[in-house]
């Protein structure tokens, strides 16, 4: 395999809503470029991208697949990403290393929630966009409606590059507005096509749209714009230059069309990406930090510069071990190199380097700046880590993965599996940082969190297959809190005589509420030595321990102020233990008389859905004791903002998917603690007392 210079590399991430045909399009691209001898299908599990057993079984992409092909002397790295929101972390990691995003839309459905969410990630990384309207051969496919939706949602930057001639069943032809030719594809999947002159019936529209392309190309470059104003047109070479500049600067979003399953329009897409898509050299240089410091260093895509590599994905493959997917940001990486993992401060030796087409690997000796590949058996390197030249030691910006939207507790199915489960879950987190695991010492549960129920199902399945550990999923306990709304005073005398030295501690305390989030405040108001100073810390310790265990239902107490203002002691029988017990008992009695209440965690929830599901979503949120705090419109979507108790959010992502037919997504984050309604609190307290 020959080496490619940065100017001859195109790094293309295929993104979009689920089930729009991204994997089928990637398959057709590989087939058209000669990397495959036959077109695979997601229906029979024969695509290069979806080779994992879970993907074949479910007929969806779960992992980003790394693919590549050569087209017109350029290497195109194709990163086929999942569309399900459960695997949005895969998209985020992938777009961190891509230079272009190929946004695939279903020409029947147009812009969908997944189109938006993945486009927003690309936008955040400053990645240029090319739109591909797929499934033009389906009934009700409508290029004009979908194009208008793109313009409406993503601005007037959308540039129509093709006109479908016979959209719908039987689609095989479109007008190429750059070449100004009619293109007719074979419908047998071969990808063969023929060109001819544009029919008279379409000439006027084609010429108008061609002029629009020329005008947009001119607007991408001041020099070209000046010439366009003077002469009214540009040469073909100048149009190419202008389009390249517009795509790279993200002032222009080309829109193409086709039918991936029939391999229609795919060769023209490859040619467009090769001719007009930006190379790594057209992206701005990155700023990295010197390892262990704050000094910033510019990292340019230059083969002669010191090495810097970003690992954007880690997978575990049978018979191979852990495989690290990476992009060379600067310099060149060769098999056998000793490099520094500056993120974890360890040295690594790079073994074999591979180019990937799904599970198929080609070994190469070196990859230059701008290229993407994989390597195996790095000892302590994980997703988001930087590999650097030992002399320069830079740390690249990592990957900002999205926070979890679902949490469940896990329990071992077999005794003695605890260590195996812990090791397995933490290893799976290293491979997939959007999966989070922690042991909650307050709830005494191992909690796993992720992007959706399907995401966690896959994790649990991998835990069993790779680590031989089975767990059952249970509803996690809620970290309720206890506090008071009133104030009172209380005395408690602890006195015990049982032969020999006795125990004596006598305390008077005052309890009152503090503002929410204040925590705990202890005040020593003893005067005249009613309690010796040496016993006062024991009183506070007893109160703190009682607060930790709770009074009402066994949950931690917060937002209270305790003042120790009087008491008495015995010269012989008083001890730290006696005053600790007296403080604890006084607190418990006072707490129960100060209008105690339960608090529950409330989350900010944001739901984005097409307008037709708005009513159902709002009704469901209300049924969960949620309070709608506002609504917004974003293109064709409605956004519902609400505050919902955590106790009502168990498996909400699954319910939302059902309500919205898979077209809704949500985000959530902790907001505050709020008083539990009395009827709900009674049930919680009763359940707690039953478990004691």
* pLDDT digits 0-9 by tens, 554-582: 999 999 999 999 999 999 899 999 999 99
DSSP-derived secondary structure letter, 80? E
CB atoms within 10 A of CB 465: 13
Please give the Cα distance from 166 to 148 (Å, whole number).
18
Please give the Cα distance from 639 to 664 (Å, whole number).
10
Lowest mean pLDDT among 28-32, 116-120, 132-136: 116-120
Q: Is the pLDDT assigned to residue 1 strictly greater than 70? A: no
pLDDT at 662: 82
pLDDT at 661: 84
DSSP-derived secondary structure letter, 150? H
Is the Cβ–Cβ distance between 205 and 165 less than 8 Å?
Answer: no
Q: Is the pLDDT assigned to residue 546 strictly greater than 80? A: yes
- To the nearest whole percent, how much of the chain has pLDDT over 90? 88
Domains of the chain, each with CATH number or no CATH: 6-197+252-282 (3.40.50.300), 286-395 (2.40.30.10), 406-474 (3.30.70.870), 482-594 (3.30.230.10), 600-691 (3.30.70.240)
Q: Is the pLDDT assigned to residue 266 strictly greater than 70? A: yes
* pLDDT digits 0-9 by tens, 148-179: 999 988 887 999 999 999 999 999 999 999 99
DSSP-derived secondary structure letter, 232? S
Angstrom CA distances, 387 to 297, 331, 370, 379, stand at 15, 11, 15, 12
Angstrom CA distances, 230 to 216, 223, 233, stand at 16, 11, 8
Residue in the structure block whose two tokens are 């194709």: 78
* pLDDT digits 0-9 by tens, 6-62: 999 999 999 999 999 999 999 999 999 999 999 999 999 999 999 988 899 999 999
Bridging pattern class, strands 346-349 and 338-341? antiparallel
Tell me the pTM: 0.88
Is the Cβ–Cβ distance between 614 and 591 less than 8 Å?
Answer: no
pLDDT at 23: 97
Number of H helices, E strands in the chain: 16, 37
* pLDDT digits 0-9 by tens, 72-100: 999 999 999 999 999 999 999 999 999 99
Structure tokens at 381: 């390197």
Please give the Cα distance from 604 to 641 (Å, whole number).
7
* pLDDT digits 0-9 by tens, 278-333: 999 999 999 999 998 888 999 999 999 999 999 999 998 777 788 999 999 999 99
pLDDT at 692: 61
Residue in the structure block whose two tokens are 């966009």: 129
* pLDDT digits 0-9 by tens, 201-211: 999 999 999 99
- To the nearest whole percent, how much of the chain has pLDDT over 70? 99
pLDDT at 690: 79
Mean pLDDT over each residue of the chain, to the nearest integer: 94
Instruction: Identify the helix (H) or strand (E) that includes residue 591.
Output: helix 576-592
**Closest residue by Cα to residue 272 from 174, 186, 368, 203:** 174
């Amino acid at each position: 395999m020959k080496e490619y210079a940065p100017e001859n590399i195109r790094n293309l991430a295929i993104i979009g809503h689920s089930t729009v045909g991204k994997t089928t399009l990637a398959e057709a691209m590989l087939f058209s470029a000669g990397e495959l001898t036959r077109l695979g299908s997601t229906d029979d599990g024969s695509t290069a991208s979806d080779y994992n057993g879970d993907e074949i079984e479910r007929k969806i992409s779960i992992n980003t697949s790394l693919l590549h092909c050569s087209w017109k002397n350029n290497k195109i790295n194709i990163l086929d990403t999942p569309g399900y929101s459960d695997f949005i972390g895969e998209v985020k990691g992938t777009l961190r290393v891509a230079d272009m995003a190929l946004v695939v839309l279903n020409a029947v459905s147009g812009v969908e929630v997944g189109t938006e969410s993945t486009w927003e990630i690309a936008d955040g990384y400053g990645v240029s966009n090319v739109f591909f309207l797929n499934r033009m051969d389906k009934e009700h496919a409508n290029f004009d409606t979908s194009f208008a939706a793109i313009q409406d949602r993503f601005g007037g930057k959308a540039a129509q590059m093709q006109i479908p001639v016979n959209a719908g069943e039987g689609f095989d032809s479109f007008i190429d507005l750059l070449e100004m030719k009619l293109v007719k594809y074979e419908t047998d999947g071969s990808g063969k096509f023929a060109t001819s002159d544009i029919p008279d019936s379409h000439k006027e529209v084609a010429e108008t749209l061609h002029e629009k392309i020329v005008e947009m190309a001119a607007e991408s470059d001041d020099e070209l714009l000046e010439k366009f104003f003077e002469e009214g047109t540009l040469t073909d070479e100048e149009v190419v230059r202008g389009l390249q500049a517009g795509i790279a600067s993200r002032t222009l979003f080309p829109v193409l069309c086709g039918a991936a399953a029939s391999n229609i329009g795919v060769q023209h897409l490859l040619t467009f990406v090769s001719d007009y898509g930006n190379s790594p050299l057209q992206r701005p240089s990155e700023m990295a930090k010197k390892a262990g410091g704050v000094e910033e260093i510019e990292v340019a895509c230059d083969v002669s510069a010191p090495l810097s590599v970003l690992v954007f994905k880690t997978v575990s493959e049978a018979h191979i071990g852990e495989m690290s997917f990476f992009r060379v940001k600067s310099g060149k990486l060769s098999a056998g190199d000793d490099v520094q993992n500056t993120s974890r401060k360890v040295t690594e030796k790079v073994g074999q380097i591979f180019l990937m087409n799904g599970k198929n690997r080609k070994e190469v000796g070196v990859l230059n700046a701008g290229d993407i590949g994989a390597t195996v058996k790095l000892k302590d390197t994980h997703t988001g880590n930087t590999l650097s030249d030992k002399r320069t030691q830079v740390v690249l910006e990592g990957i900002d993965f999205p926070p979890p939207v679902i949490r469940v507790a896990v329990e071992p199915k077999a005794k003695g599996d605890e260590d195996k489960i812990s090791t397995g879950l933490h290893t799976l987190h290293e491979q997939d940082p959007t999966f989070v695991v922690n042991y909650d010492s307050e709830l005494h549960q191992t909690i796993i969190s992720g992007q959706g129920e399907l995401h966690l199902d896959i994790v649990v399945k991998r835990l069993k297959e790779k680590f031989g550990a089975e767990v059952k999923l249970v509803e996690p306990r809620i970290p309720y809190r206890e506090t008071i709304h009133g104030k009172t005073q209380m005395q408690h005398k602890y006195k015990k005589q049982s032969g020999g030295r006795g125990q004596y501690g006598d305390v008077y305390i005052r309890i009152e509420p503090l503002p929410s989030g204040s925590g705990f405040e202890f005040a020593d108001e003893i005067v005249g030595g009613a309690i010796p100073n040496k016993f006062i810390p024991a009183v506070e310790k007893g109160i703190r321990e009682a607060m930790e265990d709770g009074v009402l239902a066994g949950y931690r107490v917060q937002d209270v102020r305790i003042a120790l203002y009087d008491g008495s002691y015995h010269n012989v029988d008083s001890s730290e233990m006696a005053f600790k017990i007296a403080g604890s008992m006084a607190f418990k009695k006072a707490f129960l008389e100060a209008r105690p209440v339960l608090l529950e965690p409330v989350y900010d929830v944001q739901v984005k859905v097409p307008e037709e599901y708005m009513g159902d979503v709002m009704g469901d949120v209300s049924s969960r004791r949620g309070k709608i705090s506002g609504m917004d419109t974003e293109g064709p979507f409605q956004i519902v903002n609400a505050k919902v108790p955590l106790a009502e959010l168990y498996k909400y992502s699954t319910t939302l998917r059902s309500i919205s037919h898979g077209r809704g997504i949500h985000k959530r984050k902790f907001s505050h603690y709020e008083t539990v309604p009395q009827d709900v609190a009674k049930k919680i307290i009763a359940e707690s007392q039953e478990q004691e």
